[in-house]
Structure 1
């Protein structure tokens, strides 16, 4: 693939992250009561993202951690003027018709600016094998899309049997919002090819990202569909590369190895293929934790999920994002620590130089 110059790249969606899942720190692995998930703290992150010019904000979901996603989305929606919300839902937690009605209501509250992050993780107290878990996810995506498109459902599947009219209310556009979905296993890739709109990846080397994009395009094409692509990563941007590296190292300066392992183990997806790949990336990195230029894996020592950060000066961070864009990435979901402070830094140093806007 020949890389396109930045001026030839299509606009990208740039999202930030609100730490609903007790994932905000000044020093990774060291709890800080002032950064613990609460409505007020997470609200302030979202409002900072809107003020900073971001297009969307991911509202994550976790049972044992933080605060409830849908309740928070309903509370913050009336405070926003243009920002989208990427609201995470865990498949199986709610009965599809009721979930569809809740999401439609949120879309109305947001003036049509709802997007949905489909999560296929185990539910609290449940362990379901990968195959059936992702088949349940595909069924749920089909049911939600049908109902939110205002169409009746007559479905007899492995997990749901439903014959029901759609709710009376409709989304602002009259159709379902975009479904964002990630997962690296064979089952996850097939589920994305069948039902997702935007396939999300966690950090990896450039050649690995390219291979995943090409594989997922083939899978979607074989099903008569198209996919768009997103990239979830952390970021540490400072005026100089040296300052950025120092800031990254400071994040880990008080981390106890056992505390980091305990944090990683808390996640319901801690044994997933994607999480294992993040561990492999970290273990194969150079002694300074960099898997390749400006991709630092140290952050994964204290969290599950996305385990690497783009670290550098504004030019380096911009160049890294544009390299991903040249591979086909159209949406970025970024975060940093502490989340509100790093949101402001990225908004000042990098965001104005990106051609960006919400995906439609």
Structure 2
């Protein structure tokens, strides 16, 4: 059935993904939690990890949240094989400074580093930092200018740019990226401006779970992205984010989903300040779901065999990278790695890329 998909995990940058006060764990999102997550994921044979980025905790204004970039550098030193994807909101970083930091982490990791470009949906974070609030569609114009400078710097420069938002003047950064290969650019966002930018300039497009559609809905997204203009880059690849609940039987998995759903409702705090233009948020309205970024909307709730079948169906639709959330985090990550991942690898062989 072709090459095995790449399997990965989100790191818990601000603690637990679904239930803040889970009866079987409490992660505080500390560096220790995140380091342990990635080291353990690597030991379990997982291929990649995504470290999301927030300066202000979007779920709890009094809650902690780690810094993504210092954490990524330290985790790069603590690991030897797993890919590290660090999210970045371009309006928080000068593109030359970010290109320099990403290059350095690429050297620390010996080429295992990538970025996830996030154009920003949590508006209070922008305003509390005193930054100008750019409307939804124009943020993607900003991101396009920003990424162009970053990639020109990775290519060696010199970069001279005068755009609507950003400028550079004869910028040359050394050293160049590790082994001459710049970090991959992951990209998420499902609005029209997001899809247009991803089709033109991303390496991997991350798709969020969506209700009822399953692999057919993902196949439609992939067909749309592949139909758009793209010049001078390798073919666009695709990833899927999901909260995953696997159990020996489907009924046990559904019972666990019901339990987590009840706990999330008991503890729910509304996320204030999400951009109303954000497509991902609208996809989940009125549908029971656990987790973020689509959560369980992708349908990865079931027996070990059912989960393997559905991941295989997504892979057949064109997804080669999966990023999962779990709770309780370490027990469920190990359950997946020991019960489901072997089923996938027996069917598909070695992971992609």
Q: Pairwise mapping of residues 54-73 of structure 1 onto structure 2 (< 5 A)? A: 54-65=46-57, 66-73=65-72
Structure 1 residue 247 corresponds to structure 2 residue 221: no
- What is the match of residue 60 of structure 2? none
| C-alpha contact (below 8 Å) 2:204/2:237 kept by paired residues | yes
State how far apart, in whole Å, the 1-side matches of 2:236 and 2:268 are. 35
Which residue is equivalent to 2:113? 114
User: Deviation at 1:247?
Assistant: 1.6
Of 44, 47, 59 in structure 1, the residue corresponding to residue 36 of structure 2 is: 44
Listed as ranges, the gaps of 5+ residues in structure 1 are 1-6, 283-296
CA distance in 1, matches of 2:100, 2:232: 29
Structure 2, gaps ≥5 residues long: 58-64
Residue deviations 1:289-331, cap 9 Å, x none? Answer: xxxxxxxx4215xx56545351111110011011111111111
Q: Which runs of 4+ in 1 moved over 6 A?
A: none
The alpha-carbon distance between structure 1 residues 20 and 339, as it changes in their structure 2 partners (threshold 3 A), is: same
Deviation, 1:172, is 1.4
Conservation of the 8 A alpha-carbon contact between 1:107 and 1:114: yes
Q: Which residue of 1 aligns with 2:62?
A: none
The 3 A distance-change label for structure 1 pair 121 and 357 is farther
Q: TM-score, normalized by length of structure 1?
A: 0.85
Are the counterparts in 1 of residues 136 and 277 from structure 2 also a CA contact under 8 Å? no
Q: Tell me how far 1:353 sits from its aligned partner.
A: 2.6
Q: Does 1:85 align with 2:84?
A: yes
The answer to whether the 8 Å contact 1:14/1:356 transfers is no
Give the CA deviation at 1:101. 0.8
TM-score normalised over the length of structure 2 = 0.86
Q: Name 2:290's counterpart in structure 1.
A: 299
Question: 2:199 aligned with 1:193, yes or no?
Answer: yes
Determine helix, strand or coil for the equivalent of 2:268: helix
1:1-360 matches, within 5 Å, as 7=1, 9-24=2-17, 28-30=19-21, 34-65=26-57, 66-122=65-121, 124-125=126-127, 126-204=132-210, 205=213, 206-221=215-230, 223=231, 226-256=235-265, 259-262=267-270, 265-266=271-272, 268=274, 272-279=278-285, 282=287, 297-299=288-290, 303=292, 306=295, 308=297, 310-354=300-344, 355=348, 360=353
How many Å separate the matches in 2 of 1:209 and 1:227?
14
Shift of 1:90: 0.8
Cα offset, 1:71, TM superposition:
1.0
Describe the shift of the 1:83–1:77 C-alpha distance in structure 2 as closer, same or farther (beyond 3 A). same
CA contact (8 A) 1:201 1:232 kept: yes
State the alpha-carbon separation in 1 of the partners of residues 46 and 54 from structure 2: 24
Alpha-carbon shift at residue 74 of structure 1 (Å): 1.4
Q: Could you say if the C-alpha distance between residues 235 and 337 of structure 1 is closer, same or farther in structure 2, counting changes exceeding 3 Å?
A: same
Note the C-alpha offset of 1:132: 1.1
Distance 1:235 1:127, change over 3 A: same
Q: Is contact 1:335-1:342 (8 Å) kept? A: no
